Amino acid sequence: PRKNLTTSNHLRHVESMAHLPSGAGRITRLNALILGEALASEEDDLVFPSEDFSSQAHVSSPQKYLEMYQRSVHDPSGFWSDIASEFYWREKWGQQVYHENFDVRKGKIKIEWFKGGITNICYNCLDRNIESGKGDKTAIYWEGNEPGLDSSMTYNQLLARVCQLANYLKDVGVHKGDAVVIYLSMLMELPIAMLACARIGAIHSVVFAGFSAESLAQRIIDCRPKVVITCNAVRRGSKIIYLKEIVDSALLESAQKGIVTDVCLTYENDSAMKKEMTKWTKGRDIWWQDVILKYPVTCDVEWVDAEDPLFLLYTSGSTGKPKGVLHTTGGYMVYTATTFKYAFDYKPTDIYWCTADCGWITGHSYVTYGPLLNGATVVVFEGAPNYPDVGRCWDIVDKYKVSIFYTAPTLVRSLMREGDEHVSRYSRKSLRVLGSVGEPINPSAWRWFFNVIGDARCPISDTWWQTETGGFMITPLPGAWTQKPGSATFPFFGVQPVIVDEKGVEIEGECSGYLCVKRSWPGAFRTLHGDHERYETTYFSAFPGYYFSGDGCSRDKDGYYWLTGRVDDVINVSGHRIGTAEVESALVSHPQCAEAAVVGVEHEVKGQGIYAFVTLVEGVSCSDDLRKSLVMVVRNQIGAFAAPDKIHWAPGLPKTRSGKIMRRILRKIASRQLDELGDTSTLADPTVVDQLIALADR
């Protein structure tokens, strides 16, 4: 049993919310804004779930949440083993459901869940669902880059395809515990390859197929795969990307460093490039279509321990050199399935689409494993959201009758910039729940997502989590309670977030500080590949006794959590600590500002000054008046102390390939330390950096 459990502030608040009348009709800030009234602050902006939604939700009220949450933290063993029992285990876990040491002062950091339990996640995704009658249900709808190019696959068909590849991998000598690198775009073959590895106990490491040969080589050298799986080329928007050539140079580079990969299994993606045009290394390169179809469509499962590794995934690298995050099987399985079910209020009739690529954790947990463990129908989209035009997403939503749509704030903001008419010409009637992940979503983007995309009908799950956490940590449960635009609301079951000060002392009530977690949860990562010491120093040493997320956070008077960005992004202006997210939100609420990124720069008087990069809405041009009115918005919304000292016009912002703003590069540009830009290999478009430098003094 867990000792010293304090009833944290959020619980008291949820308790008091239980007495609030729920349902439509109440004046919310949203309504107030529409009616032209202004409310005091963001914290008072409430969006109530409709009664219709709440009454059908898995968690239908604050009381219900509270009951489940209390049990999850007072009796984690009971709570999680009840859920785990819904999955197939060849052998049940040992007496102890979990074991943890979260405190570096007490020795090595160690987390284990369901140790001794024998299972297989691929079996639980496919065979188990087929046995319960879902064999003919559609598992995947695949939508190609070109409108009109599509296909679909039932659970039965998916299992057959997975087994064929699994048999092949075994045949070329991939054993339990061996690594396989997957460098594929969003073809059906990508989730198939992940599941095939899981089926035979191999560890997959998906590398986003937009990374350079150098980044890919780095990862190959780090995890030494037996096989690399790729395709010859891919279409993305109007471009063709020759993946196989990138793999060729990466394999050359890694071989020069002594890491030789025996097999490069290459899928012929003939909509982008014909076989004959592809450069070939005899003996190493194998065409997928030449070999896989010859293999049997059944394949025995390799039963693994709950603590055997499932995959290795590198973080997106927005704060520096990517870290090889290792997840194991059992806890990850239980956690992704449960978070998916509750945070999206998943029902068997839903059609679910997550726009993330499987090259990121979101694509692992919420394109592949979480949904398939629930027997869901998933849309996998190969293309770009603005091709052939910016209405593509809603075209896809209408085509497949998507009911749950999960995306990133960067996409919401970029579509917002294009105007409502590209949205309103589609029906979007099927939508029920919306989701956001990757960065804090500014309240103004939240409102646009809610009002325009969701027709003020669909709750938004703003899910805060990380590659390291495996699944959602702080997230709304749609229908359960009142939302506040821009707040990720309350912790998921079993998660005990705490906010600490610089000394690592827990702060109660309304406060802001460093976001930590007090106890382990099943989906937590277990180590950094090959570097347990870096794992301990990066995450567990800053505030001994806690897992430190690296993010800043505040908790308001009602107990809601507000993520304020990375702590190394907090700016200290004349003693005021200001989160970059706050200033950015204020800027983006200006009707002519499409996107903003704020960093701190040295300032003689104030210590730090605020330096803002601003991208304008399509068709608007920069001017001194606009500059003044942007500064005004910040002064009005936050206060004079937060007014930007400099507005730097930015045609684009440097983003990681997962769409996050890379502030460390902006900091260097802002302070004109141009020879210290650091590792830019994970940037989506490195030319943005040169453009920004060129515009620096305008």
Residue ranges binding ligand ATP (CB under 6 A) = 315-319, 322-323, 361, 436-440, 462-467, 488, 549-551, 563, 566, 658, 660
Residue tagged active-site, from 395, 455, 568, 645: 568
Closest approach of Cβ 688 to Mg ion, in Å? Answer: 21
DSSP class of 366: I
Q: What are phi and psi of 44, to 5 degrees?
A: -95, 5
Name which of 120 and 469 has its Cβ closer to Mg ion. Answer: 469
Across 268-389, the runs of DSSP E, i.e. the strands, are 285-287, 304-305, 309-314, 324-328, 351-354, 377-381
Name which of 227 and 586 has its Cβ closer to ligand ATP. Answer: 586
Contacted entry of ligand ATP, Mg ion, none for residue 563, CB cut-off 5 to 8 Å set by kind: ligand ATP
By DSSP bridging, strand 593-603 and strand 607-616 are antiparallel
* Tokens of residue 320, six digits: 């520096």
First CA to last CA across the chain, in angstroms? Answer: 61
Q: How far is CA 522 from CA 266, 365, 526, 685, in A?
A: 35, 13, 10, 36
Q: Which residue has the tokens 């219900």?
A: 64
Closest approach of Cβ 313 to ligand ATP, in Å? Answer: 9
Query: Reduced to 3 states, what is the DSSP secondary structure of residue 587?
Result: helix
Across 98-196, the runs of DSSP E, i.e. the strands, are 98-101, 110-113, 118-119, 138-143, 150-154, 179-183
Closest approach of Cβ 36 to ligand ATP, in Å? Answer: 30
Task: Report which of 609, 692, 680 is spatially closest to residue 653, judged by C-alpha positions.
Answer: 692
Closest approach of Cβ 540 to ligand ATP, in Å? Answer: 15
Name which of 318 and 554 has its Cβ closer to ligand ATP. Answer: 318
Q: How far is CA 206 from CA 87, 139, 210, in A?
A: 25, 21, 12
Q: How far is CA 176 from CA 166, 169, 172, 308, in A?
A: 12, 11, 13, 9
The burial of 183, by beta-carbon neighbours within 10 Å (0-12 exposed, 13-18 middle, 19 or more buried), is given as buried
> Are residues 203 and 311 in contact, defined by beta-carbon separation less than 8 angstroms?
yes
Name which of 315 and 463 has its Cβ closer to Mg ion. Answer: 315
* Helices 663-670 and 687-694, packing angle to 10 deg: 30
Q: What are phi and psi of 139, to 5 degrees?
A: -90, -45
> Are residues 475 and 362 in contact, defined by beta-carbon separation less than 8 angstroms?
no
Name which of 144 and 322 has its Cβ closer to ligand ATP. Answer: 322
Region 312-371 residues binding Mg ion, contact defined as CB under 5 A: 315
Closest approach of Cβ 76 to ligand ATP, in Å? Answer: 23
Q: Which long-range contacts (CB under 8 A, 24 or more apart) does 493-498 make?
A: 493/68, 493/69, 493/72, 493/79, 493/338, 493/342, 494/72, 494/73, 494/76, 494/79, 494/80, 494/521, 494/522, 495/521, 496/8, 496/73, 497/473, 497/553, 497/561, 498/8, 498/546
Name which of 315 and 410 has its Cβ closer to Mg ion. Answer: 315
Name which of 90 and 321 has its Cβ closer to Mg ion. Answer: 321
Nearest residue to Mg ion, using CB?
315
Contacted entry of Mg ion, ligand ATP, none for residue 437, CB cut-off 5 to 8 Å set by kind: ligand ATP
Query: Reduced to 3 states, what is the DSSP secondary structure of residue 310?
Result: strand
> Are residues 205 and 182 in contact, defined by beta-carbon separation less than 8 angstroms?
yes
Total residues in contact with Mg ion, by rule CB under 5 A: 1
> Are residues 399 and 143 in contact, defined by beta-carbon separation less than 8 angstroms?
yes
Q: Taking the CB of residue 518, how many other CB atoms lie within 10 A of it?
A: 20
Task: Report which of 67, 12, 103, 183 is spatially closest to residue 546, judged by C-alpha positions.
Answer: 103
Name which of 261 and 658 has its Cβ closer to ligand ATP. Answer: 658
Contacted entry of Mg ion, ligand ATP, none for residue 551, CB cut-off 5 to 8 Å set by kind: ligand ATP
Name which of 205 and 658 has its Cβ closer to Mg ion. Answer: 658
Please state the three-class secondary structure of 520-565 as a single string. CCCCCCCEECCCHHHHHHHHCCCCCCCEEEEEEEEECCCCCEEEEE
Contacted entry of ligand ATP, Mg ion, none for residue 316, CB cut-off 5 to 8 Å set by kind: ligand ATP
> Are residues 225 and 250 in contact, defined by beta-carbon separation less than 8 angstroms?
no
Name which of 60 and 315 has its Cβ closer to Mg ion. Answer: 315
Closest approach of Cβ 208 to ligand ATP, in Å? Answer: 11
Q: Which residue has the tokens 């960065």?
A: 439
Contacted entry of ligand ATP, Mg ion, none for residue 462, CB cut-off 5 to 8 Å set by kind: ligand ATP
Tell me if residue 568 is catalytic: yes
Closest approach of Cβ 556 to ligand ATP, in Å? Answer: 15
Contacted entry of Mg ion, ligand ATP, none for residue 322, CB cut-off 5 to 8 Å set by kind: ligand ATP
Region 259-318 residues binding Mg ion, contact defined as CB under 5 A: 315
Cα three-residue angle 85-547-315, rounded to 5 degrees: 85
Contact set with Mg ion (CB under 5 A)? 315
Catalytic residue numbers read 568
